Each structure stands twice: as structure tokens, then as C-alpha cells.
Amino acid sequence: MSESRSPEERRQHPGVRAIFPEACEALRPFFEQATRWEGQTHEHLAYRTLKELFPQLGGQESFIVVTTAKRLFATGKYPPAS
């Protein structure tokens, strides 16, 4: 049986939440359907860009941001560019 925790207790990376909207916009070209190259995303370039823009992020935090952004763009749940 799993423990029930409040959302505050589960959050281990509050810094990720703070930078996520800005980071997601920076990663848009790598994951948005309309800008894919040969139908493929370019995750390695997304990681590189993220590290350049947010050098304070650790490896696990970078993974969280890139993976979440990729999933949001793939499902169309992230708002279109304005």
C-alpha cells in the first residue's frame, strides 16, 4: 500500500517549478510537432540548450524538465506559441 502524502511533501525540486515556464519556451523548437526535423525530436540539443540557459540545474533536474516538456508537447497540452 502506498503512503498518502500532500503535494508539498512530494516536491523535491522546487527550483524546477520556478523555471519551468521559461525553460519550456526555450525547449519548444526541439519538441513542438511543427518544428520536428525528419519527424524526430532532438533531445540532446534540448539538454544542451537547457544547460546553457540554466547552469544551476543538476542532472536530475534537467532530466525532469526535458522529459516533462517533451511529454507536454507530444500530447499537445502545452499552449501554442504566441
pLDDT beyond 70 at 42: yes
pLDDT beyond 50 at 1: no
Taking the C-alpha atoms of residue 5 and residue 10, their distance in angstroms, rounded to an integer, is 7
pLDDT beyond 70 at 13: yes
- Give per-residue pLDDT as tens, 44-78: 889 999 999 999 999 999 999 999 998 998 888 77
Cα atoms in the Cβ-side hemisphere of radius 13 Å centred on 34: 4
Supply the pTM of this predicted model. 0.75
| C-alpha cell belonging to residue 22 | 521559461
Cα atoms in the Cβ-side hemisphere of radius 13 Å centred on 29: 7
Cα-based distances in Å from 61 to 4, 64, 69 = 24, 5, 12
Provide the 8-state DSSP code for 36: -
